[in-house]
Amino acid sequence: MAPVRAQPRIVMYSRPVCGLCDEAREIILAERRMIPFDFEEISIEGDDDLEREFGIRIPVVLVDDEELFEYRIEPELLSAALRK
């Protein structure tokens, strides 16, 4: 019997006022209607460590702790990563 895969997890690092973040969130939430996964959005605003790490690269999206996207999400690649 094959092991059961844990539910995928997406983490998106963002800023409160960010058009690219809004686009990425829409893509993520649209995908979530088709495939169940955990989703957490973390604002880098005011966090010096996160600001240094992600700076202007936001949004940065991790799937199961692997950084897959920055700036823009490709829906087909996101879907494929979630179905692994």
pLDDT (tens digit, 9 = 90+) per residue, 26-72? Answer: 999 999 999 999 999 999 999 999 999 999 999 999 999 999 999 99
Nearest to 16 by CA among 4, 8, 25, 7: 25
pLDDT value at residue 30: 97
pTM: predicted TM-score of the whole model, two decimal places: 0.91
